[in-house]
Amino acid sequence: MGSMVRTVVVLTVLCSFSGFVLSYLKNVTAPTIEEQLLINVQGPAIASVFNKAENNPVADRHVFTRENGEKVVVFPCLVGNRLTGVAMENFGKGYGGAVGVIIGFNVSNDSLAGVGMTTLKETPGLGMRVREPAFSEQFRDAAPPVALSSRGGKIDAVSGATISSDGVIEAVNKANSVYKELKPQIVKQWNQ
């Protein structure tokens, strides 16, 4: 009996101590990790969307709140101190999990400025090919909402990877509705 109590006590103390230490460490590192993710995961995608930006879109990001309370991070692209475009991340359902896409919009005519992939876990050689310019460049200057050519739209899917291509389309269209809702706030934020 005594040894059983000891077993329970030792394990409980050990586990709770480890939980305490880890939650503390998690809190301490959270801001740095977020920064690293922005630089390493979203940064390159944003750079590929806005090749003309004169500011640093990651450093100038701003968090907006939607009507339903959802928080959205928006990255602005400024040329000569004027807002020319904004980018935001959204997700669609892919073959191997969520497909993360950075979607850029031209503020002047609400068309797409381009897309860049962030998190992709698709099949190498098939779904992963949505990264390639042959697919992603089709979005440049397209008018949202977009659809695959097999469904009457203008975007050609990567052959053999309809699900992954659809994931990107879904993310773009979701971002488009967010953009429409937030546009008045966005313009107010950066164009005084």
Partner 1 sequence: MAVIKEFTKGLWQEMPPFRLLLGLCPTLAVTTSAENGLGMGAAVIFVLTLSNMLVSALRKYIPKTVRIACFIVIAASLVVALELLMQAYVYSLYEQLGIFVPLIVVNCIILGRAEAFAAKHNVPDSIADALGIGLGYTIALTFLGSLREILGNGTWFGMQLFGDSFEPFKIMVQAPGAFICLGLILGGMNWLARWQNRRKGSEFVSIGCQVCGGACAACAAARKNDKES
Q: Which stretch binds partner 1 (CB under 8 A): 27-35, 52-60, 115-123, 182-190?
A: 27-35
Q: Does 134 bind partner 1 (CB under 8 A)?
A: no
Q: Does 25 bind partner 1 (CB under 8 A)?
A: yes
* Contacts of partner 1 in 37-66 (CB under 8 A): 37, 39-40
Q: Does 150 bind partner 1 (CB under 8 A)?
A: no
27: left (phi over 0), alpha (psi -120 to 50) or beta: alpha
- Measured from the CB atom, the residue of 38 and 113 that comes closer to partner 1 is 38
Q: Does 18 bind partner 1 (CB under 8 A)?
A: yes
103: left (phi over 0), alpha (psi -120 to 50) or beta: beta
Among 22, 79, 134, 187, binds partner 1 (CB under 8 A): 22
CA angle 85–141–119, rounded 5-degree value: 70
Q: Does 15 bind partner 1 (CB under 8 A)?
A: yes
CB of 52 to partner 1, least distance (A): 27
- Measured from the CB atom, the residue of 37 and 143 that comes closer to partner 1 is 37
Q: How many binding residues for partner 1 (CB under 8 A)? A: 19
Q: Which residue has the tokens 């339903």?
A: 68
- State the Cα–Cα distance between residues 78 and 84, nearest whole angstrom: 6
The H-or-E segment that residue 33 falls in is helix 2-37
146 in Cβ contact with 112 (< 8 Å): yes
Q: How many helices (H) and strands (E) in the chain?
A: 4, 5
Q: Does 97 bind partner 1 (CB under 8 A)?
A: no
- State the Cα–Cα distance between residues 139 and 137, nearest whole angstrom: 5
Residue ranges in contact with partner 1 by CB under 8 A = 3, 6-7, 10-11, 14-15, 18, 21-22, 25-26, 29, 32-33, 36-37, 39-40
